[in-house]
Amino acid sequence: MTDTTDIIKALKYWDAERFKSLQRKLTTAKNTIQNDALSGQFKPFFSDDEIKTLTEASRVLGSVKKKIAHAKEIKAREEKECDLRLADYKRQRLSLLAAMIPKPEKSEDARNMLLWVLALSIHHKSISRSAYYYERKYILSDVERAFDTKYSGTVHAAGVKWWQEVTEFLEENLWHYDEAPDPDKLDTVQRQFGEVWRTEVQSNHGTRGILERFDTEAAITASAGVHRLGE
């Protein structure tokens, strides 16, 4: 008879929850035969051969149920181990990003993060062809809110938001979700940013205006002594 290993191989795409569902159904079928069909009330309606058949069916169902229960336990253990491994990979990726692209600590850091989000708005497809990225109209809105006294936002808060956008995008798209981070991939992106993308943002028709708006608002705020920095 098929053993647990054969069952797992044959049903390799099943998860623990699906095995659990099958286990419940087998338990119900076995109990129906054992507790209903073969109960004292109904047993007289069956011939000896039929009783033997039902008894054997109940035994087989019980045997298969045990193997399914074992397969469920193995799958549940594998899934837990996989979840822990993936969580650790994610933690490693976020840790590497935080070390190489530090979270803004003061308002002056916000401009660099603005350069990052604008650069990725141009080059995100070079990292992942299928990736969706933060639209520029929302980046412009962040800039406007950071300097507009009608809103509670600050330049520093905007910088932190852009940092989150950048690190989340890179964490999700620079590496596969099921692999530990290769620092060389991030190093390549950082080198591109430092050598090419920063300059390109300042000349690209779609991003230059947003950066100029930020610089203009920052200069006006500084000259007016308005406290919108937030650090």
Is 67 in the same domain as 20? yes
Q: Are residues 183 and 73 in the same domain?
A: no
Q: Quote the pLDDT of residue 87.
A: 97
Asked if residue 70 and residue 109 are part of one domain, the reply reads no
Q: Range of 10's domain?
A: 4-85
The pLDDT score that the predictor gives to residue 124 is 93
Look at residue 229 and tell me if it is in a domain.
no
Same domain, 121 and 186: yes
| Separation between Cα atoms, residue 123 and residue 164, nearest integer Å | 17
- What span, in angstroms and rounded, lies between the C-alpha atoms of 123 and 141? 21
| Mean pLDDT in order along the chain per 10 residues (231 residues) | 83 93 96 89 90 94 95 96 97 96 90 96 90 86 86 83 95 93 96 95 93 90 60 47
Is 93 a member of any domain? Answer: no
Same-domain pairing of 119 and 208:
yes
- The pLDDT of residue 140 is 93
Pick from 51, 85, 119: which residue ends a domain? Answer: 85
Backbone CA torsion sign across 26, 29, 32, 34? negative
Inter-residue contact 120 to 166 (CB < 8 Å)? yes
Does any domain span residue 211? yes
pLDDT at 106: 85
Per the domain annotation, does 92 fall within a domain?
A: no
Do 73 and 107 fall within a single domain?
no
What pLDDT was estimated at residue 222? 77
Q: Quick one: the chain helix, strand, coil %, rounded to 5?
A: 75, 0, 25
* Domain identity same for 117 and 203: yes
What DSSP element (H or E) covers 63?
helix 48-100
Counting the structural domains of the chain, the total is: 2
Q: Are 64 and 24 contained in the same domain?
A: yes
Determine the pLDDT at residue 151: 65
What pLDDT is recorded for position 229?
A: 46
> Residues 159, 113: contact at Cβ < 8 Å?
yes
Nearest Cα to Cα of residue 84 among 92, 73, 96: 92
Q: Is residue 142 part of a domain?
A: yes
What angle in degrees, to the nearest 10, is found between the helix axes of 48-100 and 155-173?
Answer: 130
Total-model pTM: 0.76
155 in the same domain as 128: yes
Q: Would residue 30 count as lying in a domain?
A: yes
Tokens of 10: 């044959």
Residues 157 and 71 in one domain: no
Identify whether residues 53 and 160 lie together within a single domain.
no
Of the candidates 35, 54, 85, which is a domain's last residue? 85
Residue 58 belongs to some domain of the structure: yes
